[in-house]
Structure 1
């Protein structure tokens, strides 16, 4: 009677036979000479997944194609086997180091970098400046006076101007469509260029009505810049190097970011 171990070995060999029989004689070891996948073909195979195929490369591990995809503006990697019937999401990891060996390593890293804007094109002349107007470090804050998160964050900005005397905080009033009353509040703050009115706006106090068409143009210019550069929520920060950060931070964290720590 065959032992259990012998039966398992026999079963394993039997399972492998079809693959061995299909292997081509004189294989060079270069799997790409026989197995290919184009971007259009991958796009067709993955059309039901709702992703955009950006690039296809051989995976570091034989038997797979590595596909760089994008969905809702976010990058990701898919692994497809040579039969083109199975897909795995994720990154191939090499043992024993447990380090990523993705063929798309650089492309993925570039795609995951925070977006940047050209700070020289920000309409800073329409800003209300907190902190040191002549500070060597400039922080741009796109904010809405009727946004509860902006209201909380404004208190952190007031702390920041005390602990970071070399920072010019450019408050870019960016009223959101969901807050219809915020537009006129933003206008009057810009008209008067008043930090006092800015504080009152965030405190929910009543403000005077705007009276100049120039303030309407100023706010619309900020909104136009924001929309053109992917800024669609508040608060949104633009750091001195142009990096965009969504959401507020505490004053100490902001100070460290601006100092490059």
Structure 2
């Protein structure tokens, strides 16, 4: 069971026990430190951990700290205690504030994506848009291509070649071969959907280094990773029905 399902199960099981509880009396409290003060205190204790943002939570005296890589933790005002891998839940609304923040932090500015650096495939009228970070030797990427992307219609798919050398030592060479092909889309789909081996040169100029930096900046640490026109970023070989729903979301302004 994944973390999201565990959170949902916790809310479903625990909230009924507390739904009828009376709220705590709103006693007067001393003014809380500003998020900037908490940020300075965090930097003093952890000088090697750059902080992207600090903000107050609905829980008095507890602050959200966002670190690079979209890592969220919580701390008290003096940074004497840390909550790692925590899930802050709004009991009355029955929702995870942490998951909502993670989704917001993961939103991608579609207009900022370097689509010219992608392998482009147009299916049908191409009206819907999808970006995929993909590794040519990743079995889950092949599953996504064969079971989901190949069955989509009226979509333009932009594939960012994203070889993960630690897992697939030959993936970078194959990525270069695909980019150097006269028909990149045919080379990509032939390999990923039909299992056709690659051939040809692998020594042309490629965008692979730029795409690695892009993925790092977006927090992409595995493949496949999908970016929708709405700005939603999702990891994993998602099923067709779910991808169709996300493709229907309103595009980001």
> TM-score, length-normalised on structure 1?
0.62
RMSD between aligned residues: 4.2
Residues 160 and 252 of structure 1 are in contact (CA less than 8 Å); yes or no, is this contact kept in structure 2? Answer: no
Tell me which of 99, 102, 105 is aligned to 2:92: 99
**Aligned with 2:172 (options 183, 188, 205):** 183
What secondary structure, in the 3-state scheme, does the structure 2 residue paired with 1:192 have? coil
CA distance in 1, matches of 2:45, 2:212: 37
Q: Deviation at 1:234? A: 0.8
Residue of structure 2 in register with 1:9 after alignment:
none
Paired residues of 1:174 and 1:223 also in contact (CA < 8 A): yes
Mapped to 1, the partners of 2:125 and 2:159 lie a distance apart of: 15
Structure 1 equivalent of residue 206 of structure 2: 217
Residue 199 of structure 1 corresponds to 189
Matching residue of 1:65: 61
Partner of 1:129: 120
1:86-121 per-residue CA deviation (whole Å, 9 max, x = no partner) reads: 99876586xxxx4169xxx7x984454251333333
How many angstroms does 1:132 deviate by? 2.5
| 1:168 aligned onto 2:156 | yes
Following superposition, the deviation at residue 142 of structure 1 comes to 0.9
Q: Distance between the aligned counterparts of 2:38 and 2:61, measured in 1? A: 11
Q: 1:40 to 1:250 in 2, by over 3 A?
A: closer
Moved more, 244-253 or 197-206: 197-206
Q: TM-score, normalised by structure 2?
A: 0.63
Q: Is the 8 A contact 1:126 1:218 kept in 2?
A: yes
Aligned residues: 213
Paired with 1:45 and 1:124, the residues of 2 have a C-alpha distance of: 41
The within-5 A match list for 1:1-261 is 29-32=27-30, 39=38, 43=42, 54-55=54-55, 59=59, 65-70=61-66, 73-77=70-74, 91=88, 98-99=91-92, 109-110=100-101, 112-132=103-123, 135-161=126-152, 165-178=153-166, 179-190=168-179, 191-202=181-192, 204-213=195-204, 216-260=205-249
What SS does the aligned partner of 2:215 have? helix
Structure 2: segments with no counterpart, 5+ residues:
1-26
Match of 1:23 in 2: none
What SS does structure 1 have at the residue aligned with 2:216?
Answer: helix
- Following the alignment from structure 2 to structure 1, what is the Cα–Cα distance between the partners of residues 147 and 115? 21
Change (3 A) 1:32 1:254: same
